[in-house]
């Protein structure tokens, strides 16, 4: 059964076709990074205008790359929220129009559930590539899922339940950020150090040249909610540190930014701050996840969202949890950041269970998973 996924919750217009919810036939993404780069973050108005330009070509590309005819699509899964309202509406309305013209059902997907599904989708893709036998999902659940991106930092405990004779996941939100998302902190710190946008990939790369123990940035602990996160304090601490100790270095960076290779020749103190900041953010994610492991019976850990690309995070989680006998799973880089394959994967079981949305479907910017 073929499902088309459409994602437009933030600044990526994406469409993908999956067979049986786990074989990726196409996964097309029109990124707007180049547009938002000069503003140092996503400008919602610009994002929705570019979704409008990109949605038709990107869906056409996904269909043609999959080598299928639109009439073969059994249903369309679209992101309903959370996200930017203007962006979400472009994907939702196009998905509705497609379903109406093809006479196919529409399925509404929570963007965060999409990120969570990117993990089993990645595992299924890897198994297909190596022709390995499929993982028995019951061996991975109950699971703890950390969704960590530019818009979200949430920790879920997931249990499989049976409802009306079919298996589905029950999500319990056990921890969330009280202020900035982790990816947002990466982006804001990169902006204040004049390193460009998005901040995560550049900080990840440059941190390798610094000493992660050079500066001790605070790791927030929420007294009455030990699994909640807070990243605005780390961000402010970097700002204060930069104002107090890095004034000359930052002036030099501003002057050298025209030089394409300026990032490779930063003062050592900047690399050290970057590495120390990254360590503090990842340590906070690790500590809370470890506390959750102590409190919730879990057979695996699944980490998804753009920040799941981070190399320090991957090695910290692997090394920290596998020592405890807990397997840790990450999606590939392309499935970690926003994409439509994950939306199609999360929508597929709903399509099978006939959990359809109707033509009154509206964007929900604060859509909750639990």
Could you tell me the smallest distance in angstroms from the CB atom of residue 115 to Zn ion? 6
User: The tokens 């938002």 sit on which residue?
Assistant: 36
**Separation between Cα atoms, residue 160 and residue 201, nearest integer Å:** 34
CB-CB contact of 202 with 195 (8 Å) = yes
Site for ligand KG4, residues 47 to 76, rule: CB under 6 A? none
First to last CA, the chain: 28
d(CA 84, CA 174): 24
Out of 80, 289, 300, 337, point to the residue binding ligand KG4 (CB under 6 A): 337
Query: Is residue 149 at the binding interface for Zn ion, with CB under 5 A as the rule?
Result: yes
Q: How many residues bind Zn ion (CB under 5 A)?
A: 2
Calpha distance 11→31 (Å, rounded)? 7
Q: Does 204 bind ligand KG4 (CB under 6 A)?
A: yes
CA pair distance 92, 136, nearest whole angstrom: 33
Among 75, 81, 200, 331, binds ligand KG4 (CB under 6 A): 200
Q: How does DSSP classify residue 229?
A: B
Largest CA distance in the chain: 66
Choice from 91, 305, 331, 347 touching ligand KG4 (CB under 6 A): 305
Distance CA 334, CA 340 (A): 10
86, 175, 199, 320: which one binds ligand KG4 (CB under 6 A): 199
CB of 356 to ligand KG4, least distance (A): 25
**Contact with ligand KG4 (CB under 6 A): which of 113, 180, 228, 338?**
338
Region of 123-131, 161-169, 194-202, 227-235 interacting with ligand KG4 (CB under 6 A): 194-202
Of the pair 149, 276, the CB lying nearest Zn ion is at 149
We find the least distance from the C-beta atom of residue 112 to ligand KG4, in angstroms, to be 9
Determine the interface stretch with ligand KG4 among 65-73, 155-163, 183-191, 219-227 (rule: CB under 6 A).
Answer: 183-191
Separation between Cα atoms, residue 96 and residue 103, nearest integer Å: 10
Q: What number of other Cβ atoms are within 10 A of residue 112's Cβ? A: 28
Which residues from 333-352 bind Zn ion, rule CB under 5 A?
338
345 binds ligand KG4 (CB under 6 A): no
118 makes contact with Zn ion (CB under 5 A): no
Does residue 12 belong to the site contacting Zn ion (CB under 5 A)? no
Classify residue 213 as exposed, middle or buried by CB count within 10 Å of its CB (0-12, 13-18, 19+).
exposed
Q: Which stretch binds ligand KG4 (CB under 6 A): 19-27, 72-80, 155-163, 196-204?
A: 196-204
Separation CA 22–CA 121 (nearest Å): 6
Task: List the one residue from 198, 210, 331, 347 that touches ligand KG4 (CB under 6 A).
Answer: 198
By CB under 6 A, residue 309 contacts ligand KG4 = yes
Residue 91 touches which of ligand KG4, Zn ion, none (CB < 5 to 8 A by kind)?
none
DSSP category for residue 307: G
CA distance 22 to 118: 10
Nearer Cβ to ligand KG4 (195/242):
195
Q: Which of 91, 210, 306, 320 binds ligand KG4 (CB under 6 A)?
A: 306
212 binds ligand KG4 (CB under 6 A): no
Task: Give the CB-side neighbour count of residue 154, counting CA atoms within 13 A.
Answer: 17
Q: Which window, 53-61, 182-190, 286-294, 354-362, contacts ligand KG4 (CB under 6 A)?
A: 182-190
How far is residue 96's CA from residue 105's CA, in Å, rounded to a whole number?
A: 9
Using only C-alpha atoms, the chain has a radius of gyration, in whole angstroms, of 21
Q: Are 217 and 237 in contact (CB under 8 A)?
A: yes
Give the binding site for Zn ion (CB under 5 A): 149, 338
Give the binding site for ligand KG4 (CB under 6 A): 10, 149-151, 183, 186-187, 198-201, 204, 305-307, 309-310, 337-338
């Amino acid at each position: 059964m073929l499902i088309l996924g459409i994602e437009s919750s933030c600044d990526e217009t994406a469409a993908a076709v999956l067979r049986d919810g786990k074989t990726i036939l196409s996964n097309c993404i029109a990124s707007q990074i180049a547009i938002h780069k000069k503003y140092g973050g996503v400008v919602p108005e610009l994002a929705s205008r570019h979704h409008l330009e990109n949605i038709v070509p990107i869906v056409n590309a996904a269909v043609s790359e999959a080598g299928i005819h639109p009439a073969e699509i059994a249903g369309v899964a679209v992101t309903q929220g959370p996200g930017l309202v203007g962006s979400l509406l472009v994907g939702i309305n196009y998905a509705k129009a497609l379903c109406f013209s093809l006479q196919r059902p529409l399925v509404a997907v929570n963007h965060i559930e999409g990120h969570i599904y990117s993990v089993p989708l990645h595992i299924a893709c890897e198994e297909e590539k190596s022709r390995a036998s499929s993982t028995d999902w019951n061996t991975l659940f109950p699971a703890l899922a950390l969704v960590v991106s530019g818009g979200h930092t949430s920790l879920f405990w997931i249990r499989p339940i049976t409802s009306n004779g079919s298996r589905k996941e029950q999500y319990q939100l056990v921890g969330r950020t009280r202020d900035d998302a982790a990816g947002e902190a990466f982006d804001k710190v990169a902006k204040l150090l004049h390193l460009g946008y998005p901040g995560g990939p550049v900080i990840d790369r440059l941190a390798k040249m610094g000493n992660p123990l050079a500066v001790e940035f605070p790791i927030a602990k929420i007294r009455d909610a030990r699994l909640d996160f807070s990243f605005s304090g780390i961000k402010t601490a970097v700002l204060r540190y930069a104002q107090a100790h890095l004034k000359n270095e930052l002036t030099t960076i501003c002057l050298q930014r025209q030089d394409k290779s300026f990032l490779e020749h930063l003062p050592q103190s900047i690399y050290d701050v970057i590495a120390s900041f990254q360590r503090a953010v990842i340590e906070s994610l690790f500590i809370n996840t470890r506390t959750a492991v102590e409190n919730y019976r879990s057979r695996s850990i699944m980490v998804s969202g753009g920040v799941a690309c981070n190399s320090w995070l991957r090695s910290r989680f692997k090394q920290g949890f596998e020592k405890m006998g807990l397997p840790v799973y990450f999606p590939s880089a392309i499935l970690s950041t926003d994409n439509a394959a994950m939306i199609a994967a999360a929508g597929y079981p709903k399509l099978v269970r006939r959990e359809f949305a109707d033509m009154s479907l509206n964007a929900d910017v604060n859509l909750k998973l639990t």
